[in-house]
Amino acid sequence: MKAIQTTKAVVMLNWHVLAFGHGTYSSKMLKTVLLRVLLTLPSPVEAGYPSPAASSAAIPASQVIQDVSAKTLDRKVIEDHLSVQAIIRSYQLRGHFLAKTDPLGMDSSAEPTHRFVRQLESYHLDASDMERIFTLPQTTFIGGQETALPLREIIRRLESVYCSSIGVEYMFINDRQKCDWIRKKFETPGIIQFTKMDKRLVLERLIRSIKFEEFLARKWSAEKRFGLEGCEVLIPSLKAIIDECSGQGVESFVPHAIGKGRLNVLANVARKPLESIFCQFDSKLEPTDELLRLWLNETFEVMLDKLFLVDSSRQGSGDECPNSWRSAFLTGCRYETFHLSDLPEYSTHGTIHIVVNNQIGFTTDPRVARSSPYCTDVARVVNAPIFHVNADDPEAVMYVSQVASQWRCHFGSDVVIDLVCYRKNGHNEIDEPMFTQPLMYKTIKKHKSVLEMYADAKIEEGIMTQQEFEEEQANYEKICEDAYQNAKKIENTKNAEWLDSPWTDEDTLAHIGGKFSQLPEDFTIHGGLKRILKARSKMIDNREADWALGEALAFGSLLKDGNHVRLSGQDVERGTFRFLHDQSARLVMWEAQFGDFSNTAQCIIDQFISSGQAKWVRQSGLVMMLPHGYEGMGPEHSSARLERFLQMSIDDPDIIPDIEAEDFVVQQLYNSNWQILNCTTPANLFHAMRRQIKMTFRKPAIIFTPKSLLRHPEARSSFDDMIEGTYFQRLIPELGVATEKPSNIERLIFCSGRVFYDLLKERKETQKEDRIAIARVEQISPFPYDLVDAECRKYSNAELMWVQEEHKNMGAWTYVQPRIQNLMGGQTVRYSGRSSAAATATGNKSVHTAELRKFLNVAMKLD
């Protein structure tokens, strides 16, 4: 559940504008998927399950029985045929549990319960039946041209198809055609064949893969490189996929998260120049090559998180090349990636998932890490076939890679390769694995490398001579050595190819008119919406915008300027966005899933959004709209956790920037890691969105959005605040009577967000409009020092107070307090708001109201 939420946050990283909508995601989403699966469960026949009458479906059952009795068929013959059919089905269903996929031969996933597959007596047959000839059912292709085989041969063939180096897991797929497709690919006798050339190529690729790691190990023995040792076959496998897919017309490949062996993949698959890889080790690093740097420098756990989340983010960039077939790889099996796999606008039309399954995570054994037999079990939810394969059998791996590629090209859906391998070293090269996995590592120590084994076999087979083999190795060695020497000459490894393409800065200011209140011609809408449109049209006649229109105008004007706007988040098409969504057929308006509670997306926010530029060298103009507010709706509606975002903002409270500097505002924003905004007017929201595009650089914007302001009569803006010459206001100063005699003002309140309207009302009711001034901080971070300073100076006799509706240990208090205080030379800032609490809000309406009452009283009580 947690992981699912996280996906949604990052999905947008590459987009110009993104809004997260309202509503929760995970449980709903799961339910939908489960329901879908349940509803579409096929009949046994469709599912490819042999049913005795399946092949003679046209013949009524009664007739079959008559026929049988007419010919007085031996009852035992029928029963024995059914038994043989059951044997075949057992292998198809459970053979993978018995397959020899573990190179170390230690795998214990073959539970005793699976043993019956091989026990004749469980099918009421015995050794005396072995030579009897049985007609094969239509649900198998093991016969090839033959329709009947002796039982001994049937079992032999089943054993070789299902229980050797490949474990094919597919019988859960609820589509007979797909099951047959796979059966054909694996059961057809003699289908797995490689030419001499193919085998040689595999051997050459293996040499590169292994020698690369050896070279690094030799040159930098004290460095962590998270090498591929134990799964070197990944390189030929990736190459085989690329070969096969290219052959089928695939034009581009999008590799996702590659875990171990990343450097090897860069060198031998992506063909990154070896020089620029080697020089990374010699501290001539430039931050531009962060991916590698992180790889070399950080701990594996962090990497796991980071890299393994990347694939979901790539999945979100669904329209990168909308019409060209894309292929994608990644290591690891992430639940959310599978769930995104078939969503409109998210689908990659099939991802090839490769699990580098070293049978250990870091130090945790699988049996205490998850509750299902395979780490790939999550793929079953989307009906992706799973091919478990022994990484020590390169030809089996090649075959599986090819079939996976064909599946991807044929069906356009996900497929999984579970490369069962081992980890030769510890979780990195410096780590001692004997501490945690003594038994396994005893076995590993004695284990021959895949290259040794494969080379021996192929030399014997005459694919390559011993001499050629040695030459091949020496050649690659020399390539590495040359690159190593060249790398020393590289002064600066700043390589532009890893940088973002710069964002274009379009300069148009929108002409925004009544478009949003008119219906396009051929458009039918719900009656309720008509009413909304009418009200909107009236608003527009008055040259006004409410919250929804403010948003609509921002998106509309950006689209008009040719910008791509993508909205993502569950329920974004409801509420404020509804009208826009109706136009989405023509405007590019995306809609996807995101819940309103960003908390479970915290790791994405940490990894990509708060630190995106510093760590990943990627500027992001992402907008996160997080519904938040204290409206008596309970803790789940007040949990956007503003304080966390503020805590991660990088400006130092003890350093007051030079507010006199000419470019203070731009510079301050440029230096920050993101913007934390809390708008109180539609016009300001409008400007906040547009600014995202109009700025010459990108900063993520976290915007806290209120529910109640959607319909708040005072939360309206005139068009005058949106037309040319207007701009985003980082702070909206007091505008009322308090400005007339500033020296009379006894208290200056700073606040942010919707609580402003409560304060306004309260001030009016208590008739303090000439004694209390209220300023709204719309951009909380980076902190608008200059404007706060101006307000404070204006009301120079006033005491300062911060009012928030959040609890004291939440909200913006701890962020603004030291900043205002330092700015004002130590002047005290008073607090009015809810007191500290563990939960974000009370669920009890009357307690909620009492709390509100209390802090409003404090805010208005002058002593």
Least Å distance, CB 702 to ligand NAG, is 11
The count of residues interacting with ligand NAG (CB under 6 A) is 23
Residue closer to ligand NAG (CB basis): 653 or 742: 653
Q: In the block, which residue shows the tokens 């393409």?
A: 501
Residue closer to ligand NAG (CB basis): 239 or 628: 628
Residue closer to ligand NAG (CB basis): 3 or 780: 780
By the rule CB under 6 A, 267 interacts with ligand NAG: no
Contacts (Cβ under 8 Å, ≥6 apart) of 757:
680, 709, 712, 714, 715
- Binders of ligand NAG in range 170-229 (CB under 6 A): none
Alpha carbons 205 and 454: distance in angstroms, whole number: 12
By the rule CB under 6 A, 752 interacts with ligand NAG: yes
Q: Are 551 and 623 in contact (CB under 8 A)?
A: no
Q: Which stretch binds ligand NAG (CB under 6 A): 161-169, 360-368, 379-387, 751-759?
A: 751-759
By the rule CB under 6 A, 846 interacts with ligand NAG: yes
Q: Are 744 and 768 in contact (CB under 8 A)?
A: no
Residue 633 CB-density burial (10 A; 0-12 exposed, 13-18 middle, 19+ buried): middle
Residue closer to ligand NAG (CB basis): 83 or 280: 280
Alpha carbons 579 and 120: distance in angstroms, whole number: 66
Alpha carbons 574 and 224: distance in angstroms, whole number: 50
By the rule CB under 6 A, 759 interacts with ligand NAG: no
By the rule CB under 6 A, 753 interacts with ligand NAG: yes
Judged by CB under 6 A, the residue of 169, 651, 806, 851 near ligand NAG is: 806
Per DSSP, the residues of 729-787 read -SEE---SGGGTSGGG--EEEEE-TTHHHHHHHHHHHTT-TTTEEEEEESEEES--HHH
Q: Are 595 and 29 in contact (CB under 8 A)?
A: no
Q: Which stretch binds ligand NAG (CB under 6 A): 182-190, 444-452, 583-591, 842-850?
A: 842-850
Q: Are 758 and 852 in contact (CB under 8 A)?
A: yes
| Beta-strand relationship, 252-255 and 415-420 | unpaired
Residue closer to ligand NAG (CB basis): 353 or 754: 754
Residue of minimal CB distance from ligand NAG? 753
Residue closer to ligand NAG (CB basis): 418 or 791: 791
Least Å distance, CB 825 to ligand NAG, is 24
Residue closer to ligand NAG (CB basis): 614 or 847: 847
Judged by CB under 6 A, the residue of 210, 812, 829, 860 near ligand NAG is: 812
Least Å distance, CB 771 to ligand NAG, is 23
Alpha carbons 760 and 840: distance in angstroms, whole number: 24
Neighbours of 841 (CB within 10 A): 25
DSSP single-letter state for residue 474: H
Q: Which stretch binds ligand NAG (CB under 6 A): 84-92, 117-125, 541-549, 803-811?
A: 803-811
Alpha carbons 616 and 613: distance in angstroms, whole number: 6
Least Å distance, CB 840 to ligand NAG, is 11
Nearest Cα residue to 798 out of 783, 806, 788: 788
By the rule CB under 6 A, 598 interacts with ligand NAG: no
Residue closer to ligand NAG (CB basis): 108 or 846: 846
Judged by CB under 6 A, the residue of 844, 849, 853, 862 near ligand NAG is: 844
Alpha carbons 355 and 332: distance in angstroms, whole number: 5
What is the 3-class SS of 12-58, one letter each residue?
A: CCCCCCCCCCCCCCHHHHHHHHHHHHHHCCCCCCCCCCCCCCHHHCC
Tell me the Ramachandran region of residue 666: left when phi exceeds 0, alpha when psi lies from -120 to 50, beta otherwise.
alpha
Alpha carbons 321 and 396: distance in angstroms, whole number: 32
Least Å distance, CB 856 to ligand NAG, is 13
Contacts (Cβ under 8 Å, ≥6 apart) of 450:
103, 206, 210, 232, 233, 391, 392, 394
First to last CA, the chain: 51
Judged by CB under 6 A, the residue of 15, 547, 630, 674 near ligand NAG is: 630
Least Å distance, CB 689 to ligand NAG, is 16
Phi, psi (5° rounding) for residue 331? -100, 150
Judged by CB under 6 A, the residue of 21, 706, 782, 784 near ligand NAG is: 706
Q: Which stretch binds ligand NAG (CB under 6 A): 49-57, 155-163, 504-512, 746-754?
A: 746-754
Judged by CB under 6 A, the residue of 166, 173, 379, 642 near ligand NAG is: 642
In a 13 Å sphere around the CA of 279, the CA atoms on its Cβ side amount to 21
By the rule CB under 6 A, 632 interacts with ligand NAG: no
Judged by CB under 6 A, the residue of 804, 819, 834, 851 near ligand NAG is: 804
By the rule CB under 6 A, 860 interacts with ligand NAG: no
Judged by CB under 6 A, the residue of 811, 823, 840, 852 near ligand NAG is: 811
Least Å distance, CB 845 to ligand NAG, is 7
Residue closer to ligand NAG (CB basis): 719 or 855: 855
Least Å distance, CB 217 to ligand NAG, is 20
Q: Which stretch binds ligand NAG (CB under 6 A): 18-26, 428-436, 747-755, 823-831?
A: 747-755
- Binders of ligand NAG in range 685-704 (CB under 6 A): 704
By the rule CB under 6 A, 754 interacts with ligand NAG: yes
By the rule CB under 6 A, 285 interacts with ligand NAG: yes
Q: Are 210 and 239 in contact (CB under 8 A)?
A: no
Least Å distance, CB 432 to ligand NAG, is 21
**Contact code string over 292-321 relative to ligand NAG, x by CB under 6 A:** -x---x------------------------
Phi, psi (5° rounding) for residue 161? -75, -50
Binding site for ligand NAG (CB under 6 A): 283, 285, 293, 297, 628-630, 642, 678, 704, 706, 752-755, 804-806, 811-812, 844, 846-847
